[in-house]
Amino acid sequence: MNPLQIILLIIVSLLGIPVGFLLKKFTKEEMKSGRKWFKLISLAAVLSFIFGVVMGDAVIVVSSIFLFFIAAVPLWKKSGNR
């Protein structure tokens, strides 16, 4: 895999962070009832990541990182908001 492909894969996987924040911003009322589903999706993304690493498939690894960020960002809380 050449360096340009690696950079593009990193960019694509990190795009999950702003998508997760958009999801959190526009679905505030669904966050409470869907919290368990976001946790389940995050767990599935971690398992998928492990599978992708074991199989050596970069597409699965990047997809699982992207999915993890989308599902995990809405679960993050602000540090001063307790």
Count of the separate structural domains present in the chain? 1
Q: Which domain covers residue 69, as residue numbers? A: 3-75
Instruction: Report which of 71, 80, 54 is spatially closest to residue 16, judged by C-alpha positions.
Output: 71
Q: Is residue 70 part of a domain?
A: yes
- Report the phi/psi class of residue 48: left, alpha or beta, with left for phi > 0 and alpha for psi in -120 to 50: alpha
pLDDT per position as a tens digit, 28-48 = 888 778 888 989 999 999 999
Report the pLDDT value the prediction gives residue 63, as an integer from 0 to 100.
93
Q: Is residue 31 part of a domain?
A: yes
> How far apart, in whole angstroms, are the C-alpha atoms of residue 24 and residue 75?
8
Q: Is residue 82 part of a domain?
A: no
Q: Is residue 60 part of a domain?
A: yes
Q: Is residue 65 part of a domain?
A: yes
Query: pTM score, two decimals?
Result: 0.81
- Greater confidence (75 vs 63) lies with 63
Q: Is residue 35 part of a domain?
A: yes
